[in-house]
Amino acid sequence: MPALKVDDLAKTFPLKKPLFGPAPPGVRAVRPMSFEVATGETLGVVGESGCGKSTLARMLVGLLEPSEGRIEIEGSALDTADPAEFGKLIQYVFQDPQSSLNPRKTIRQVMEAPLKQLHGMQRPQRDRRISEIFASVNLREEFLNRYPHEFSGGQAQRIGIARALAADPRIIILDEPVSALDVSVQAQVLNLLADLKLRFGLTYLFITHDLAVVEAVSDRIIVLYFGAVVEIGRAESIFANPRHPYTKLLADSAPVVGKPLKAPEQKGLELPDPLNPPPGCAFAGRCPRATEICRTNVPDLNEMGEDQLAACHHPLES
């Protein structure tokens, strides 16, 4: 049984109806997508700004109600948008650790909320649990009586992770958890996450725009473009051996020591307009391999090689 199963999950944000005339079709932030995450797996989600990765994440934790589709966590469906219902099974670690902590609450109050609200624990039990969690994320207990502004980014992110752990979830959604951190601290947090996963048998959904980071931490990777899955594959092979031209573009764009600088694409600077989406493949306007069929028909996600799926009419040779 997969830890997380998503079936045709989609989100359309309605647009304001004009005074006269019919309401325009909404903005499709996430087009129907299906995927599974196995227990103990880390699934990386990459894509550029506006590709729908944050909308997807917010739906998965119940902060946003899906327009269509269903979310199953360990076999039981969760289609309501009640964060408290989701909270016990799936938790969220935010991108900006400082703004995810209430500036006027002590760390102890922050940590106690999930224990009290989700698990109804009594005071002595809570204190014991907080000590356990703090020990596992390498934070000192004297931090508990301080306020968020007294912490550095790395420490604040550890507190964010500790809060997510306090809910004792099965799955943690990590939304750009290290983007706001300095590189030397980034590695500390990534290693901590890997360690916690093993220790508590967690399942991760790791959302980021940093290809090198996602490759270093994930088992499998999903590549999103314009609200749709364009490719799914194993972390070690997807960027080395991409089937979708967009994945290749991403991999070629990432700056790597020793690789000469060249612009991977010269034309097509404009991304597709969400208010006026192209009828066919959203990437066709930027794609060097695009033909007529790409501009009219949306490609389906098809099996291509071992453990790799891509949504492309003219996939790259492996």
Partner 1 sequence: MSAFFKLLFRNRLAAMGAVVLSAILLLVLITPILPLNDPDVTATADRFKRPFSEGHLLGTDHLGRDLLSRLLHGTRLSLAIGIAAALIAATIGSAIGIIAGYFGGRTDNIIMRGVDMLMAFPYILLALAIVAALGPGLMNALIAVAAVNVPFFARNIRGITVGLAGREFIDAARLAGMGHSRIILTELLPNVLPVIVIAMSTTVGWMILETAGLSFLGLGSQPPQADLGSMLGEARSAMISHPHTSIVPGIMIFLIVMSINLLGDGVRDALDPRLRSGALSRPRATTLVERVGDTPAATDDLLAIQDLETQFHVGQRVYRAVGGVSLAVKPGECLGVIGESGSGKSVTALSVMGLVASPPGVITGGAVRFQGEDLIGAPYESLRRKRGDRVAYIFQDPLSTLHPLYRIGQQLAEAIKSHHKVSNAEARERAIQLLNDVRIPNAEARVDNYPHEMSGGMRQRIGIAMALANAPDVIIADEPTTALDVTVQAQILTLLDDLRRDRGLAIIFITHDFGVVAQLCDRVAVMYAGRIVEEGPTQVVLDAPAHPYTKRLIACVPELGGGRRELDAIPGLPPVVDDLPAGCAFAPRCDKAQDTCRAGTIALAGPSSRAVRCLYPEEAI
Residues from 175 through 234 that contact partner 1 (CB under 8 A) = 182-188, 190-191, 194, 209, 211-213, 215-219
Nearest to 194 by CA among 3, 41, 61: 41
Q: Are strands 171-175 and 203-208 parallel, antiparallel or unpaired?
A: parallel
Phi, psi of 183 (to 5 degrees): -60, -40
- Is residue 316 a contact point for partner 1 (CB under 8 A)? no
Q: How far is the CB of 231 from partner 1 (least distance, A)?
A: 15
How many residues of this chain interact with partner 1, rule: CB under 8 A? 76
- Is residue 257 a contact point for partner 1 (CB under 8 A)? yes
Tallying the residues shown for the chain, one arrives at 318
Q: How far is the CB of 104 from partner 1 (least distance, A)?
A: 4
- Is residue 134 a contact point for partner 1 (CB under 8 A)? no
In sequence order, what DSSP letters do the residues of 141-183 get, joined into one string?
GGGGGS-GGGS-HHHHHHHHHHHHHHT--SEEEEESTTTTS-H
Q: Which is nearer to partner 1, 34 or 102 (CB)?
A: 102
Out of 235, 281, 304, 311, the residue judged to bind partner 1 by CB under 8 A: 235
Q: Are strands 76-77 and 302-303 parallel, antiparallel or unpaired?
A: unpaired
Q: How far is the CB of 291 from partner 1 (least distance, A)?
A: 22
- Is residue 96 a contact point for partner 1 (CB under 8 A)? yes
- Is residue 253 a contact point for partner 1 (CB under 8 A)? yes
Q: Which is nearer to partner 1, 63 or 135 (CB)?
A: 63
- Is residue 255 a contact point for partner 1 (CB under 8 A)? yes
- Residues in Cβ contact with 277 at an 8 Å cutoff, skipping those fewer than 6 apart: 28, 226
Q: Which is nearer to partner 1, 58 or 243 (CB)?
A: 58
Task: Tell me how far the alpha carbon of residue 252 is from its chain's centroid.
Answer: 22
Residues 1-60 that bind partner 1 (CB under 8 A): 48-49, 58
Out of 5, 10, 52, 86, the residue judged to bind partner 1 by CB under 8 A: 86
- Residues in Cβ contact with 128 at an 8 Å cutoff, skipping those fewer than 6 apart: none
